[in-house]
Amino acid sequence: MIESYLIEKMFNNAPFLDEMATDQGKIHSHWERIAKYYEQIGSEKMRQFQEEVSRQLRENGVTYNVYGDPDGMNRPWILDPVPMVFNSEEWEGIEKGLVQRTQLLNLILSDLYGEQQLIKEGLIPFELIYNHRGFLRQAHDIKLEGEQQLIQYSSDLARGPNGMMWVLHDRTDAPSGAGYTFENRAAMTRVFPELIRENHVRKITSYYQTFKNTLGHLTNNKENPRVVLLSPGPTNETFFEHAYISSFMGFTLAFGEDLTVSGGYVWLKTIKGLEKVDVIIRRVDDVFCDPLEYKNDSHLGVVGLMEAVRQKKVLVINPLGCRVMENPGLMAFLPKISKHLLGQDLVLPSVATWWCGQPKEKKFVFDHIETLVIRNIYRGTNHKSIFGGDLSKEQIQRLKKQIEKNPYMYVGQEMVDFSTSPSWINNKLEARNAVFRSYVIADSENNNYKVMPGGLSRSSPEKGAFLVSNQTGGISKDTWVLGKSKEPISVVSKTIKVQPLVRNVLPSRTGERLFWLGRYLERSSYAVRLMRMTLLSYNEADEDIHIHETPVLSTLLRTLTILTGTSPGFMEKATLMNPEEELLDLVHKIDKPGSLAYSIQSFLTNAYAVRDRLSLDTWRILDSISEELNKMRQSNTSLMQAYHSLDNMVVKLMAFYGLNIDNMTREPTWHLLNIGRFIESAANNCTILRGMLCQSFDTESNKELMEDTLRCNESLVTYRYRYRSNLEMHGVLSLLILHEDNPRSLIYQLLEIDQHLKSLPNQDDHEMFGVDRKKLLEAITKIRLCDIDLISTPNPETGSFENLTTLLDQVVELLHDTSDRIYEKYFSHTGSGYSMIQTSVIPEI
């Protein structure tokens, strides 16, 4: 395995330096133990280890979203089992260079939003700054306490042809990847514990601890600081990381809709009311953070946030306006600025950069455009890098004209043959270009910067290509720094005031998602059970079903349309007589509101939005449900295949429910999930009873429908055990409506809603019952006072159970009112809510 890699390196005239071996095929000393280990275990064992690494990440729910890709949501994170490796001597230089660069950028940032001496003295052209969208004039003279304004910093580095590490990009706005780095290390530690231990790979946990210490230092004058991590939402490419970091670090995960500004302060909307926020760790780009002052069509930020920052009533990390430091044009001026501010040469050089706002540099870019990479000074989705060598002559001319219009908006950068690193691809070691992302955090207590001894490396999936971003299919790699650290173990300073533990609160948006998670869990479960019953009845029906309408099957089909809210569906005669296509659509069609696939996808969407509240084992079940959904959508050729898919799905849905009974603490998260679950269960119970039993047919058909109704409510065995008699309407309705010890009865479900409501906070102190519980009490009373003989007796003239229909309609209406009151009380600060009857509606972000 290693030998073939070295032979390819020696005889294929690869133009790149390699991290593991020299051009003569000699392995670098710090790679020797690792290479020997790979050679000893062999290709087959390495393949097994790769599968184990993938399994670890998949079971931990590590995902990445790819924009614009139909399969992009929740895509599994890919980790190469071969790490990027640095020895301790080289790392000392990299670490020194990263600290120097962070200090330099921190000084520049402070100056740009302060005295602006660098612009006045001509060290930075004002066009380079004032034409950059990341320079926010509204942030002028707004500073954090102390000298450190840049709290988090990341940079992408790669080894150049001279063997040195070069900086490709600076990341100062909302650096990402630290959560994935931790998960990568966790997976590698489980699979390669001996290899990590024998090579003395440095731990990376000090980075996260320093971050927490810095927050404690910055908020030292506050009691019980409330820290939230502001995320763009579940569709963001790195949402997994947002949820992971917030859970791991003990922060509250929040979206823009979770926060509001009042009285100059930022408040978190929780199910208890408003909670004041002290620190916001933002993962939202700065121009999206306050639609009042920046991008007015943004739904990701908080109206008035900038004013709260001005009044120093909230701390935002990194400060708004940091994105200007990501300007690649600055790289051309950093060497001179470093000599001016620090009196030092840059330890880590930047890739050679020419800013087109200067005539001489623009001419050089035009003369050498075929050998350069052309970039806009503002990084964004509409400003992609352009490789001059890939352009035709006509395209080059158009690009030059475009640059001529606004030369200060463009830079040319040298295309360098960066090094390769061994990667495990196609069951063998292959050389791939790789980039290393570092992470630096401010140590406010000691007024310096600390570098994570490791980071997130990424390699290209294709040979000879330099496409390493996750959006283009890049493969992540753990980064190992070998050798014991020479730095003494740090301890938390005794001067820092010990903050009391702050109990994490439940944002209203999270509570709402949990509520809908429970709703869609029951909606999916009822739909699965009724569909299985319908398919079974259809498969057992006579062949003349397409000609003659049968009462049992027709009732099942119509009830299925009512339950799923997919009217007209089987309410139309033609569809009722030829139900196959509609049945398959109800099972598989994910874009059909009300279908089973749609409901399960909505269930998964809500689960993903609250992933920081769910356990690791729960995520394994959700991953299994997601896989089953994909199989179910693909096996859409026959009703028999659909039936088997439903069998598998119902087991996994019940596994999710059972796991959360055991794992979830009995806090508001648990209560809201179960309130949603029991409201949906009660409503669906009423729907099935009304659709299946409110019309009398012949004796045999009635018995079949009663049996199907009991089976759909998982109560057939209970009925036979309790009554030991033939099916009778009186006994069926008594069991499914009135028996308070039957978990599938309507009264039991309503009582459970009430018990969970009593356990939620924010109850009305001056009243024994809030409006929500009053509506529920009315429904419970109606059921308890109903005459079972009356509702189980049909109208002799019409054959319909009119009293049963009236009771069920009244209960559904009261459930509707209860749901609305719950929404207004816990989820909404505006008074509007989602209607329980709008079954196709789920909250969008």
Give the per-residue pLDDT at 780. Answer: 95
Distance CA 519, CA 527 (A): 12
Length of the chain as a residue count = 845
Query: Which residues have a Cβ under 8 Å from the Cβ of 462 and sit 6 or more positions away?
Result: 432
The answer to whether 480 touches 85, Cβ cutoff 8 Å, is yes
**725: DSSP letter:** S
**Which tokens is 657 given?**
């429910």
Angstrom distances, CA of residue 765 to CA of 347, 756, 817, 819 = 64, 17, 21, 21
Helix (H) or strand (E) holding 305, with range, is helix 305-310
322: nearest Cα among 102, 71, 81: 102
Buried b (16+ CB within 10 A) or exposed e, 797-819: eeeebebbbebbebbbebbbbbb
Give the per-residue pLDDT at 841. Answer: 31
In 248-328, where do the E strands start and end? 252-254, 259-262, 265-270, 273-276, 279-282, 315-317
Give the per-residue pLDDT at 549. Answer: 67
SS3 assignment, position 394: helix
Give the per-residue pLDDT at 500. Answer: 45
Give the per-residue pLDDT at 826. Answer: 85
731: nearest Cα among 792, 805, 687, 690: 792
Residues β-bridged to residue 476: 79, 458
Query: Which residues have a Cβ under 8 Å from the Cβ of 290 and sit 6 or more positions away?
Result: 298, 301, 302, 303, 304, 305, 306, 320
Give the per-residue pLDDT at 521. Answer: 94
Give the per-residue pLDDT at 543. Answer: 56
SS3 assignment, position 631: helix
Distance CA 219, CA 357 (A): 42
| 157, burial (CB in 10 Å: exposed 0-12, middle 13-18, buried 19+) | buried
Give the per-residue pLDDT at 499. Answer: 45
Distance CA 77, CA 55 (A): 10
Give the per-residue pLDDT at 106. Answer: 96
Query: Which residues have a Cβ under 8 Å from the Cβ of 449 and sit 6 or more positions away?
Result: 98, 99, 102, 103, 148, 153, 440, 441, 442, 443
Residue with tokens 């989820």: 827
Q: Give residue-wise pLDDT tens across range 388-430.
A: 888 999 999 999 999 999 999 999 999 888 888 999 988 888 8
Helix (H) or strand (E) holding 375, with range, is strand 372-376
Amino acid at 358: Q
Give the per-residue pLDDT at 729. Answer: 92
Task: Count other C-beta atoms under 10 Å from residue 725's C-beta.
Answer: 9
Distance CA 413, CA 39 (A): 40
The answer to whether 352 touches 166, Cβ cutoff 8 Å, is no
pTM of the model: 0.82
Distance CA 66, CA 76 (A): 11
SS3 assignment, position 319: coil
Distance CA 826, CA 274 (A): 11
**Which tokens is 580 given?**
């196959």
Angstrom distances, CA of residue 715 to CA of 459, 711, 728, 783 = 56, 6, 14, 19
Domains of the chain: residue spans and CATH: 83-329+419-481 (no CATH), 352-415 (3.30.1490.270), 508-827 (no CATH)
Give the per-residue pLDDT at 473. Answer: 62
DSSP string across 41-107: HHHHHHHHHHHHHHHHHHHTT-EE--TT-TT-TTEEP-EEEEEEEE-HHHHHHHHHHHHHHHHHHHH
How are beta strands 259-262 and 252-254 bridged, if at all?
unpaired
Give the per-residue pLDDT at 503. Answer: 54
End-to-end CA distance of the chain: 48
Q: What angle do CA 807, 809, 810 make, to 5 degrees?
A: 65
Q: Give residue-wise pLDDT tens across range 312-342.
A: 999 999 999 999 999 999 999 999 999 999 9
Distance CA 196, CA 708 (A): 59
Helix axes 802-822, 668-693, angle to 10 degrees: 160
Give the per-residue pLDDT at 779. Answer: 94
The answer to whether 649 touches 636, Cβ cutoff 8 Å, is no
Low-confidence ranges of the chain (pLDDT < 70): 9-15, 66-74, 220-224, 381, 464-473, 486-504, 541-549, 635-637, 762-768, 829-845
